[in-house]
Amino acid sequence: MAPREAGPGKVKTMVKNFEDLQQVGKENVDATLKSFGALTKGAQAIAVEVADYSKKSFEDSSAALEKMFGVKSLDKALEVQTEFAKSAYEGFVAKASKLGELYADLAKESYKPFEAMLAKAK
């Protein structure tokens, strides 16, 4: 059997398909880079929040410990401890809510570049 030669129409179709494939590859790389940029930015914001919370928590714990060393009665010690526990809990809940928002934003922002590609695929 003799090999068939490709006609001019087939060559144009192959070139067009190759160009389309190159364009899709370029779009995939662009979307991935944008997603990675959003991921990096979000992770950095989360790291800053965690570091700030850790620093504040340490400072608050140190201040509470200093107060504890200065008390003269058990009632006052319980008051200082209760005050510290309440403020530590409120601070933790506030920071946990903030971190939850940051993680949600991170997911949304890192997914955005792929939304357009998925819309095209439909």
Sign of CA dihedral 120, 23, 21, 106: negative
Average pLDDT (97-106) is: 94
Average pLDDT, the chain: 86
Query: Residue 107 pLDDT > 60, yes or no?
Result: yes
> Quick one: DSSP state of residue 31?
H
pLDDT in tens, 57-69: 999 999 999 999 9
Q: Within the chain, what is the greatest distance between any pair of CA atoms?
A: 105
Q: Which amino acid is residue 24, in one-letter code?
A: V
List the chain domain ranges. Answer: 13-121
pTM, full prediction: 0.71
Kindly state the percentage of the chain with pLDDT values over 90: 56
pLDDT beyond 80 at 56:
yes
Residue 119: pLDDT band (50, 70, 90) is: confident
User: At 11, which amino acid appears?
Assistant: V
